[in-house]
């Protein structure tokens, strides 16, 4: 049996929910590969649960699309109605007996990620175990498995690393950097390595992710603070935080989140971006790229580069690099919505 994917609200392969931690329950049901892909692409009513379950699908029988299984992880024992709801989303499991078990009080996010192979993206070597060897000539980054998204394994994160590396290779210079939706802090660390004299700011909507980023900063020798070469952290939805706004405008903004938040946050992200500044976007599927690009074109940005990455299911995950036209000044608040929280119907939310 091999792990294929885990999902969050809009079905993109982003991260495990924090529900996978202490006092978790696991519901297991058989399914087909088609059903597995459908439920992880659209959680439907499951996304409305508080907190929503974390879903993991895998092959029960190798190379047999009719023999897959779904594991749904819940914080607390799921009600009978919840189990029936999950089962109703898997037609082939209509007559199956649900398997429900309480898990030991362990961090199942970390356990699920242990043993992942290191990732090389551009000049960066990202590992989740300190004992893994780092080949010569690469920049080592240690991101232990944990509660936040951004260990480098997913195509969206590695795509951003590759795009940052490409920016450095073509001679881009940034003095002020913001990483919105930082997760583990990985992309902010990489950016500070490439531009070590920059003022850097990183935020996440989840305070736990900010704590994780602070811990990872210590592991990677990244100083926290507000000076050059230091990283300032805060918990915020979108750019709705005094720290983020006070340190604007930024010459480089990175946002690796989801298509929905990217669309809704377009005015706010454009507002904190300096004239001529660079914006790197990821967390979207190929079929969502046009809608995301249009949202930023309407704010005065133009697409200048794109990196494609495919996952094991043949889906395309583009990383977009856009530049802000000088005609659009950052101090034009009539187009900005600093209270945007990342909601866009049909594209998911964070």
Q: Residue 323: which of 306, 300, 307, 295 has the closest Cα?
A: 300
Q: Distance between CA atoms of 206 and 187, rounded to whole angstroms?
A: 16
Cis amide leading into 51 (omega within 30) = yes
Distance CA 135, CA 316 (A): 28
Residue 171 annotated as lining a ligand binding site: no
C-alpha distances (whole Å) from 132 to each of 112, 128, 152 are 18, 8, 15
Residue 293, marked binder: no
The burial class, CB within 10 Å (0-12 / 13-18 / 19+), for 25 is middle
What gap in Å lies between CA 298 and CA 296, rounded to an integer? 5
- Specify the DSSP class assigned to residue 247: T
| Three-class secondary structure of residue 28 per DSSP | strand
Tell me: is residue 181 an annotated ligand-binding position.
yes
Q: Give the CA angle between residues 209, 320, 123 to the nearest 5°.
A: 70
Distance CA 127, CA 115 (A): 10
Q: Determine the 3-state secondary structure of 285 from DSSP.
A: coil
DSSP state of 221: T
- Is 337 annotated to bind a ligand? Reply is no
Beta carbons of 179 and 202 less than 8 angstroms apart: yes
Taking the C-alpha atoms of residue 184 and residue 213, their distance in angstroms, rounded to an integer, is: 5
Q: Give the side-chain half-sphere CA count within 13 A for 108.
A: 25
At what angle are helices 186-194 and 155-169 packed, to 10 degrees?
10
Take residue 299 and report the two structure tokens written for it: 């704010």
Residues annotated in the binding site for S-adenosyl-L-methionine, as ranges?
Answer: 157, 181, 204, 256
Residues annotated in the binding site, as ranges?
Answer: 157, 181, 204, 256
């Amino acid at each position: 049996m091999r792990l294929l994917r885990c999902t969050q609200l809009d079905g993109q392969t982003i991260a495990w929910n924090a529900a996978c931690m202490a006092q978790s329950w696991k519901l297991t049901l058989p399914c087909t590969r088609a059903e597995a892909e459908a439920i992880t692409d659209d959680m439907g009513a499951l996304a409305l649960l508080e907190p929503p379950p974390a879903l993991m699908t895998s092959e029960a029988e190798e190379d047999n699309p009719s023999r897959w299984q779904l594991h749904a992880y819940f914080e607390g024992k799921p009600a009978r109605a919840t189990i029936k709801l999950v089962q109703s989303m898997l037609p082939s499991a209509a007559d199956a007996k649900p398997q429900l078990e309480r898990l030991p009080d362990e961090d199942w996010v970390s356990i699920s990620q242990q043993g992942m192979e290191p990732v090389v993206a551009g000049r960066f070597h990202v590992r989740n175990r300190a004992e893994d060897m780092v080949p010569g000539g690469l920049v080592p980054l240690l991101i232990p498995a944990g509660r936040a998204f951004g260990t480098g394994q997913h195509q969206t994160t590695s795509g951003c690393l590759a795009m940052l590396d490409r920016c450095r290779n073509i001679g881009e210079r940034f003095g002020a950097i913001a990483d919105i939706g930082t997760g583990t802090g990985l992309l902010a660390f990489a950016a500070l390595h490439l531009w070590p004299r920059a003022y850097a700011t990183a935020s996440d909507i989840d305070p736990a992710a900010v704590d994780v980023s602070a811990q990872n900063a210590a592991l990677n020798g990244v100083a926290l603070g507000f000076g050059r070469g230091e990283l300032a952290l805060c918990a915020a939805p979108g750019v709705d935080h005094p720290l983020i706004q006070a340190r604007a405008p930024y010459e480089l903004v990175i946002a690796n989140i989801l298509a929905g938040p990217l669309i809704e946050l377009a005015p706010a992200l454009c507002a904190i971006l300096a004239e001529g500044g660079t914006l790197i976007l990821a967390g979207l599927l190929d079929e969502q790229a046009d809608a995301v690009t249009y949202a930023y074109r309407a704010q005065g940005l133009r697409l200048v580069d794109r990196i494609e990455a495919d996952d094991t299911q043949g889906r395309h995950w583009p990383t977009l690099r856009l530049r802000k036209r000088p005609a659009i000044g950052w101090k034009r608040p009539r187009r900005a919505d600093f209270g945007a929280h990342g909601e866009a119907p049909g594209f998911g939310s964070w």
